[in-house]
Structure formats: C-alpha cells, structure tokens
Amino acid sequence: MKHIISPLDFSVKELDDVLCLAEDIIADPKKYANVCNGKKLATLFYEPSTRTRLSFEAAMLNLGGNILGFSSADSSSAAKGESVADTIRVISSYADICAMRHPKEGAPMVAAKYSRIPVINAGDGGHNHPTQTLTDLLTIKNLKGRLNNLTVGLCGDLKFGRTVHSLINALVRYENIKFVLISPEELKIPAYIREEVLDANHVEYKEVSVLEDVMPELDLLYMTRVQKERFFNEEDYVRLKDLFILDMAKMEYAKDDMLVLHPLPRVNEISTEVDNDPRAVYFKQAEYGVYVRMALIMTLLEVEKPC
Amino acid sequence: MLNISGLGNGIVIDHIKAGKAMDIYHYLKLDRATCPVAIIMNAKSSKMGQKDIIKIDGPITVDINMLAVLDDQLTINIIENGKIVIKKNPTLPLEVTNIIKCKNPRCITSIEQELPHVFKLTNKDKRMYRCVYCEEAFKR
C-alpha cells in the first residue's frame, strides 16, 4: 500500500505512469466512468478548502466511486480532541482511500503511519500539497508536450509559496530545466531551497525583480498570489501584494507558446484581460487537477486500467 | 587550559557552546546524579572565545553522539585515575528521537503531545537536522 505525502514520494517513472494515465483519462473520460464502482473516498478536511475538496470528490465521482467526509475540524471528532492517529484508524474501516487536508504540517504523515488505507496529502499547512504539484506537472506535460528542456519563470511570493517549492523539487529531476525566480527582495526563495535543491542538483537559475525583462526567455510563467495569511504585518502585505501584476502589456514580451499557470485562487496578480489569451491556461490547469486526482486514486487503489 | 586534576574516574564534556551547559545537564539528567558534578560556564577558550564545561566525577554512561545533536562542537574526555584515556569527537546520528524538540508552531507535534519528536540528519556538512513531520530545520 502506498501513500502520497510529499510530491517526491513517486519516482520519476511512477510519476510518468500517473501522468500517462491522466492523459488517457483526458482523451476518453467515459472509459473510466465505472472503474471505482463500490469504492469510497473519505475527504478529511480539517480546514476549509473548497477547491481541493471538490476536485477530489469530482475525481472519485467521475470514476464511479462514492464519497464521505467532513469539511472542517469543527464538524469532526478533532473538535473533541481526537488525535489524527485515532481518527484515521476509524476511517480506515469506513473508506477505501482518503484525502486529508490539515492546518498542521506533518499531520497526513502521522495519518499514513496508522492508516490501513492509502492516504493522500491534500495540503498540510505551508508544507506540502502534492496533488497541486501533480496538477502542475500534468498541465505542463500535456500542453507543452515535455517536462524537460524548459525555462520556468516563478513569480510572486517565492518565500512562503509551497506550490513553488514543491514544483521546483519536482522539476529538478528532469533534464535541462532552468529557473527564473521573479520576486521582491522580501519574498525571495528561501536559502534552503537554493542550497539544498537548486545548487545541490546543479540547476541553473537566476533571481530577478523585474518581470518584463525576463518574459521573452520563458517557456512557462508560474504566477503566485501573495498570501495575506502568511504576513504578521499588514503594512508589509499591502506594500508587496501589487508588485507583480501580469497584464496584456507584459504578455506582449512573451513567446507565442509561453504558458501562464497559477495554482488559483488569484486575487489581482493576473489581470482579467489576460484570461482570454490562449497562453493563459490556469483554468485548464484546475480542470486537469481533477484528471490527475482520478489517475492518482486509481493508482493508489491499484485499479486496473480499462481496455 | 582545563584542569582535570581533581577528577578520579569520570567524564569531562568540553567545548560546550557558552551558555549551553544546562541543556546538556538536563539532557543527561545530572540533577539526579549522586556523584559530584561541576558546571563551568563562560570559561576562556582560545578556540571558541568562551565555552562551558561539565565535569562528572563518577561512573556515567553517555551516548556522545546524541550529545552532538544538542551541541555539534563539544568534545568528550573519559578520565581514569586522573588521566584522559579517551578523547572523542562525536559523530552525528542519522536519526534521533526525543532528543531535540520541533519548535515550529505549525508542526503537528505542537498539538499532539504524545507524538515522538523525530529528526533526520539532512545535511552532514552543515550538521542540519530536520523534523520528519514538517521538515523545519532544528536551530541549535
């Protein structure tokens, strides 16, 4: 039995298998409509996250399975003080697989230790969010046709943005990836990512603070939101939140086949005028999130691929 | 120089970072020791400027590698009949349980008290330990 707690829990080969399965689902979703008949997914959401929860539930329903669960800690036995370990021991009797979102970092890892069913980390605090990374990789692979030989621009909050850290960790495993890190000084990528991931893997990167200057070199631009909840100081948030806004004027500098990705939700970091540009694929990316979760559920449940 | 003439059989934990002797003292549960224990704080050191020293005059079993997790610069001198018989520099263990605690307020260990605090050595050169749950680096 396998759990997915970190984006690196899959080898490159295993990841490739999941992405290939997801692409097959994209090509013919109806073929997969009943492969999880009689199976149940428990969504254990200790903090609200409508998008991720609905994406998981849609994925299981698309596979013909059923769903159960809770959407906040208040409506679970955690409110009575039950430990994660005890909760998952019980849920293991009720469902075949579970997706857990928890505000505390490492909670899904604790659950995996005591679980009798596969556990998928659906986000633990500011730590890991592996299914977002899988979604990003599927979007890139399906729309660019490759996961190697890419110059990837990461823009916005590179300090607290867990999606960015996970994506870097995942992409350094592919050949000839270059990163352009675009952020204000206060939101630069943490030193440990630079040293332990980028430098350790001999990956080429540069840090810049002006988006327009680097737009022409990018194959991908991954935008992120400056998250208010990460700041202790309101003034800092207000000062930094509007520094990078992608608009059509900036898109003029980009290659014709550059893709704009965003984990969503966005606030104002991508102007709505960009939405109609064919290079803006962030809503497609959200759609792919369902397909990759379908592939992940099938993989972890060891469901046979239909002919 | 450290004067160990007063010690018969015992251990001198030397080159402890200044101000950190009490962390080692509590980890070794020396408050329960029945033999003489001396703590010297902020002693002059040519190498470190200032250092702490603990002298234990009596038999005690010390896992020096575990001590290195708390303070990666310290050295251990085993004393027998008033002389240093073994001088050891500790080797960092790959994994430690309940030796150091995760201080990340967002870590699951901050709300589930019964969970063991487990750290892995993730960078040997930098002597870096990270919590296995939240991956926060342990700061000495």
| B54 lies in the same domain as B29 | yes
Q: Is 90 exceeded by the pLDDT of residue A185?
A: no
Residue B81 maps to a domain: yes
**Interval B3-46: pLDDT, tens:** 545 677 888 999 999 999 998 998 888 888 888 899 999 999 98
Please confirm, yes or no, whether A51 is among the known catalytic residues.
yes
Residue A58 maps to a domain: yes
How many contacts does A have with B, using Cβ atoms within 8 A?
Answer: 47
Q: Please count the structural domains in chain A.
A: 2
Which range of A78-87, A93-102, A187-196, B123-132 scores highest in mean pLDDT? It is A93-102
| B120 lies in the same domain as B52 | no
| B115 lies in the same domain as B70 | no
Domain that holds residue A48: 7-128+289-300
Residue B20 maps to a domain: yes
pLDDT tier for residue A116 given thresholds of 50, 70 and 90: very high
pLDDT tier for residue A160 given thresholds of 50, 70 and 90: confident
A106/B107 Cβ within 8 A: yes
Residue A2 maps to a domain: no
pLDDT tier for residue A227 given thresholds of 50, 70 and 90: confident
**Interval A76-92: pLDDT, tens:** 777 778 899 999 999 99
| A53 lies in the same domain as A115 | yes
- Please identify, among B88, B106, B123, the residue that sits at the C-terminal boundary of a domain: B88
| B103 lies within 8 A of chain A by CB | no
Residue B139 maps to a domain: no
Minimal CA separation from A157 to chain B, in Å: 19
pLDDT tier for residue B71 given thresholds of 50, 70 and 90: confident
| A127 lies within 8 A of chain B by CB | yes
B107/A110 Cβ within 8 A: no
d(CA B20, CA B52): 7
Q: Is 90 exceeded by the pLDDT of residue B108?
A: yes
Closest-CA residue of chain B to A84: B112
d(CA A279, CA A283): 11
Quote ipTM for the complex: 0.87
| A158 lies in the same domain as A273 | yes
Residue A1 maps to a domain: no
Number of helices (H) and strands (E), helices first, in chain B?
A: 2, 8
| A12 lies in the same domain as A91 | yes
Tell me the percentage of chain A whose pLDDT exceeds 90: 79
| B131 lies within 8 A of chain A by CB | yes
| B99 lies in the same domain as B41 | no
pLDDT at A232: 65
Please confirm, yes or no, whether A293 is among the known catalytic residues.
no
| A124 lies in the same domain as A192 | no
Minimal CA separation from A127 to chain B, in Å: 7
Q: Is 90 exceeded by the pLDDT of residue A230?
A: no
Q: Which among B134, B138, B139 is the top mutation candidate for probing chain A, defined by the most A β-carbons within 10 Å of its own β-carbon?
A: B134
Q: Please count the structural domains in chain B.
A: 2
- Average pLDDT of the segment spanning A135-140: 98
pLDDT at A120: 98
- Average pLDDT of the segment spanning A227-248: 78
pLDDT at A241: 74
**Which range, of A139-153, A292-306, B32-46, B50-64, averages the lowest pLDDT?**
B50-64
pLDDT at A225: 87
| A30 lies in the same domain as A161 | no
| A115 lies in the same domain as A199 | no
Residue B32 maps to a domain: yes
pLDDT at B68: 83
**Interval A35-45: pLDDT, tens:** 999 999 999 99
pLDDT at B82: 80
Selected residues 25-54 of chain B with any CB under 8 Å from a CB in chain A? none
| A173 lies in the same domain as A136 | yes
- Average pLDDT of the segment spanning A204-232: 89
**Interval B77-98: pLDDT, tens:** 888 888 888 877 778 899 999 9
CATH number of the domain that residue A95 is part of: 3.40.50.1370
| B36 lies in the same domain as B68 | yes
Tokens for A35?
């492969």
B137/A196 Cβ within 8 A: no
Q: Which of A263, A241, A261 is nearest to A161 (CA)?
A: A263
Domain that holds residue B102: 95-131
| A103 lies within 8 A of chain B by CB | yes
Q: Is 80 exceeded by the pLDDT of residue A31?
A: yes
| A265 lies in the same domain as A293 | no
